[in-house]
Structure 1
Amino acid sequence: MEGRLPDRVWSSDDVGKLPYEIAQAQKINSLFGPKGSKDAYDVILDLHNTTAHMGATLILESSTDDFNIQMCKYIQKSMAPLPCAVLLIEQPGVKYETTRSIAKHPIGVEVGPQPQGVIRADILYIMKIVVQYALDFMQYFNEGIEFPPCSIEVYRVLEKIDYPRDDNGDLSAVIHPTLQDQDWKPLNPGDPMFIAMDGSITYYEGEETVYPTFVNEAAYYEKKQAFVKTEKVTLTAQSIHCNSV
């Protein structure tokens, strides 16, 4: 499967004049890409910890990537009974520019909750076994093992939800206690979402049950995101095997 065409072509001209982030993006694109080319890396595992109570989470960027769907299925099955959610971010209105997107088959890994600047052995262990099962899957694939058709339940991103804010753009309410730490749990119409200092509550007014995640993620305050609404969908993948064995 070919990688996605780049949104723009990174040029090496005037590198010294570029902001640090853009210069680093060019460097990463040169090392692992170029993005969208036949020479781009086949797989990149993009590892993150989160302050949200998400547990082990795999992030898919395409609902039609048989290789990645099969990998997620293998990791989920191998980790059982430890839960491992799969988040599908294939949504035009919710765009994430990531290092992993350079690869033909990008996979994101989020594990939490873990406070920023803190190392927790249990979270580190979960991250380790997710990576190990991913490597096992790739090894088996390279050895020519065929993976039969499969299906997998995922949480597809619908939209980002911001905190209530005042006229100055400052937060006027926080995550309601009944929503805090409830990643992947159903949020039903009429359920509380936010509570203000005066005790007033903002309720979910949608018509369908959704499944929040990245609830109260510390890194997303500046991105105006209190949580992400998702819906459950089922993805299917055809059988895959390595043709070069």
Structure 2
Amino acid sequence: MSQMDVDEPVCLPRLSRVAVCGGTHGNELSGVYLVRELLKLQRRPSEDDDEEPTSLLTVLSNPRAVQQGRRYTDTDLNRCFTLATLNGPTSDSPPYEILRARELNAMLGPKGGPGAVDLVCDLHNTTANMGLCFIAYSDCDWICLHIFKYLQRQMPDVPMRFVHLGSSEKESYSLDSVGKHGFAMEIGPQPHGVVRSDIYGLMNAGVQHMLDWVRLFNSGAVFEGGFVDVFTLVKNIDYPRDEKTHNITAAVHSHLQDRDFCLLRPHDPLFQTFSGETLRYSGSEPLYAFFINEGSYYEKGIALSLARKRRLVIPAIRAQTEEEEQARGFTSEEEE
């Protein structure tokens, strides 16, 4: 990317509909309580209602799991948003989360369609010591990357990372993939089924800064380009297991525990068996460890994830003017 490309703003459509979702996992409580607070605020009359250029949708994603205080009731809702699952045949007694995913897709999507909401921010907690993370499928979605960059500036004392999953639209499986732009805001450490005031406060600040950015963008502000460090998922590592029982035989090593986004080098301590033996990382390249010992991932066979870190150059951006949007609409009609 040349310097001219970086300096010349990229013009993008305004974000007229934004969704903030919580409770996709019913026991991740910061998002549950934050969405409830946002819903309370929306019910109150505001003097700024006529001036608000953005429609904000607040969604409690999995109300049944929230009511039961569980991650999910039948199957993980945050794995139900692939195109195959959303559009596939329905069985006689489908899991509740499959039905709910299709309801959410009808409400916020359809996924990949022109009527989908412009931006989805899905709120999550992790038991891992990850600070505040954006998790997204694309590493070239300038909207999500600029929002992340803005939060970094507004919250300089908060450990913050951008995690890139790299799946295609067809294979992307989480709720945030329903919007034209989307990311999960993952904050920890917080035990599942518990709400901590410090973690809730970080999430609330992050959401408010995100909404502030959207208002600035829609008002015509130009956001300068720059650099963003991105952690791209390479692979997941399972716990050592007994071949016969499939029970785990080791825990994450104490040298690695709580050190999310540290650089894990070949031969570094990785696990400690229950008999006291140290098992070392056998990979050939240094990678960054995250989601270390995440409580909900035991059932998924994931002890930690590994990523490569790289620095991206992102261009300056601004919202299209009404005239530019109209011209774009005319062009689209002519192409059809």
TM-score of the pair, normalised by structure 1: 0.92
Of residues 185, 199, 211 in structure 1, which corresponds to 2:288? 211
SS in 1 for 2:309: strand
Q: Does 1:111 align with 2:187?
A: yes
Q: Which residue of 2 aligns with 1:226?
A: 303
Q: Does 1:62 align with 2:138?
A: yes
Distance 1:193 1:133 in 2: 37
Q: Does 1:79 align with 2:155?
A: yes
Change (3 A) 1:201 1:65: same
Compare 67-76 and 135-144 and name the one that shifted more.
Answer: 67-76
Assess if the C-alpha contact under 8 Å between 1:47 and 1:109 holds in 2. yes
Q: Does 1:158 align with 2:199?
A: no
Assess if the C-alpha contact under 8 Å between 1:70 and 1:150 holds in 2. no
Identify, as 1 or 2, the structure richer in helix: 2
**What percent of counterpart residues are identical?**
35
SS in 1 for 2:276: coil
Gaps of 5+ in 2: 1-11, 14-80, 323-336
TM-superposition CA deviations, 1:34-85 (whole Å, max 9, x none): 0000000110101001100011111121011111111111111111022211
Assess if the C-alpha contact under 8 Å between 2:131 and 2:158 holds in 1. no
Q: Does 1:180 align with 2:262?
A: no
CA shift, 1:170, in A, is 1.1
CA shift, 1:11, in A, is 5.2
Compare 167-176 and 234-243 and name the one that shifted more.
Answer: 234-243
Instruction: Please give the root-mean-square deviation of Cα atoms over the aligned residues, in Å.
Output: 2.1
Change (3 A) 1:33 1:15: farther
Q: Does 1:131 align with 2:207?
A: yes
TM-superposition CA deviations, 1:178-203 (whole Å, max 9, x none): 01001011111110110111111210
SS in 1 for 2:166: coil
CA shift, 1:19, in A, is 2.0
Q: Which residue of 2 aligns with 1:148?
A: 224
CA shift, 1:16, in A, is 6.4
Change (3 A) 1:76 1:13: same
CA shift, 1:18, in A, is 2.3
Q: Which residue of 1 aligns with 2:128?
A: 52
Distance 1:13 1:171 in 2: 36
Distance 1:155 1:186 in 2: 11
Of residues 83, 100, 105 in structure 1, which corresponds to 2:176? 100
2:266 maps to amino acid: P
Distance 1:76 1:59 in 2: 15
Distance 1:134 1:166 in 2: 45
1:65 maps to amino acid: D
Q: Which residue of 2 aligns with 1:23?
A: 99
Change (3 A) 1:162 1:145: same
Distance 1:31 1:99 in 2: 12
2:96 maps to amino acid: Y
TM-score of the pair, normalised by structure 2: 0.68
TM-superposition CA deviations, 1:114-144 (whole Å, max 9, x none): 1111111000001111111111111100001
1:129 maps to amino acid: A
User: Paired residues, what number?
Assistant: 241
1:151 maps to amino acid: F
Q: Which residue of 2 aligns with 1:193?
A: 270
Q: Which residue of 2 aligns with 1:122?
A: 198
Assess if the C-alpha contact under 8 Å between 2:137 and 2:172 holds in 1. no
Assess if the C-alpha contact under 8 Å between 1:6 and 1:36 holds in 2. no
Distance 1:210 1:229 in 2: 6
Runs of at least 4 residues off by over 3 Å: 9-17
Compare 31-40 and 197-206 and name the one that shifted more.
Answer: 197-206
Q: Which residue of 2 aligns with 1:43?
A: 119
Change (3 A) 1:11 1:176: closer
